[in-house]
Structure 1
Amino acid sequence: MNHVMIDIETLATSNDAALVSIAAVRFDLETGIVGDSVYFKIDKQSCIDYGLRVDADTVDWWMKQGKEAQEQFLTTEDRVELLQALQDFYLFFEFETDYVWANGINFDCEILRNAYKAIDFPLPWNHFNERDVRTLVHFAPEIKKAEPFVGTKHHPISDCMHQIKYCCKIYKKLKFD
């Protein structure tokens, strides 16, 4: 499986945002089969220590989300330091990753790029292998609209799984139409 869907949750919307959590899920774009995944909840203070930002408006937005989503940013258990999370995240990409998908590469990929820069570590993929979910959705938005969300919204694993489902369906439609 050479495609990976990534998703992040943050405490700001700027490209130097502090990370709440990150996830990646391997998948086959043609079949929709999902492979292994990785997920980290990240310690807020470690992000701040590396110069990443927390924005009051984004924190306020989190407080208006559902309880399950809020747990992404309110709980302190199982959090890892930014450096450890990004190094372990990097290892996930060492094998057969050709394409990295994100629901807005100018958000997820850019924030991760800046986080890796903050820890002085290379991005685990080449920028020219980034693929944007939004571009694919542009060609068949009805498929995304019809796909029911399963899981917890604003949880990066759930978001990845949802995006994989409708991206694979759109890809099949475009390939065979």
Structure 2
Amino acid sequence: MPRTFMMVDCETLALTPDALITQIAVGVYDRDAGQITSMLVLHPDTHEQSNRRIDYDTVSWWMKQSAPAREAVFGYTGERFKKARIREILHAFCANAEGGIWAAPSAFDFALLRDYFDACTPWSYRAERDMTTLRRLIDPDSTLEPPSDAAREHDAAYDVEWQSTYLTLLLARFDRLRGPDFRLQGLDK
């Protein structure tokens, strides 16, 4: 099984595939080192997303989150990238997604990015992996779930770190359950 994988997380202002995206984070996690070895956090140009959805209930939910989470979504004043540039950056960053690109749940993040990139994501659909399904199969009672930092939750970079740590625990249990002769198509590449 590959010893590195990528994790993606997006923060948005709605819960639909056409939601306005405020953050996209992608991290490369090295299972042997037990940490993220490189992280990329991109803030899409919100003016370029005028046709994307902003939902009152989601914005209200954000207002109840921690100050750092709200600041990451509403107070960011750094560089914002156009869609074409984000696609280029992600294409280069994700080119060697040895252990796949994971999301939790993939039905949200990948659908969102597919819609944002007009059905042409910067990676192959074959690289997409769903952590939520693995979690329900391997850890249905959440006994492996690492503690989280409530003050940092819902910042895309923190979520990538936390989800990567949890995924590593799930994959370690999966390795023990499957035995040395078990092969699962797509995970062993």
TM over 0.5, shorter chain: yes
Contact preservation (8 Å) 2:24, 2:43: yes
Between the aligned residues of both structures, percent identity stands at 26
Partner of 2:77: 77
1:99 lines up with 2:97 in the alignment: no
SS at match of 1:13: coil
Contact preservation (8 Å) 1:31, 1:168: no
SS at match of 1:43: coil
Select the structure of larger CA radius of gyration.
2
Displacement of 1:126 in angstroms is 1.5
- Name the structure where helix makes up a greater proportion of residues: 1
> How do residues 28-47 of structure 1 correspond to structure 2 at under 5 angstroms?
28-29=30-31, 32-47=34-49
For structure 1, the residue ranges without an aligned partner over 5 or more in a row are none
Contact preservation (8 Å) 2:42, 2:81: no
Contact preservation (8 Å) 2:152, 2:158: yes
TM-score, structure 1 normalization: 0.86
Following the alignment from structure 1 to structure 2, what is the Cα–Cα distance between the partners of residues 32 and 18? 33
Change (3 A) 1:173 1:95: closer
1:148 lines up with 2:147 in the alignment: yes
TM-score, structure 2 normalization: 0.81
Partner of 2:111: 110
Displacement of 1:33 in angstroms is 3.9
Give the partner amino acid of 2:111: E
Residue range with higher mean Cα deviation, 38-47 or 62-71: 38-47
Following the alignment from structure 1 to structure 2, what is the Cα–Cα distance between the partners of residues 137 and 31? 22
SS at match of 1:71: helix
SS at match of 1:5: strand
Count of residue correspondences = 170
1:27 paired residue among 5, 26, 29: 29
Following the alignment from structure 2 to structure 1, what is the Cα–Cα distance between the partners of residues 35 and 25? 17
Displacement of 1:163 in angstroms is 0.7
Deviations 1:56-98 (A, max 9, x none): 2111111111111001221141141342333322321123445
Following the alignment from structure 1 to structure 2, what is the Cα–Cα distance between the partners of residues 97 and 171? 15
Following the alignment from structure 1 to structure 2, what is the Cα–Cα distance between the partners of residues 161 and 32? 11
CA RMSD of aligned residues (A): 2.0
Partner of 1:8: 10
Contact preservation (8 Å) 1:3, 1:26: yes
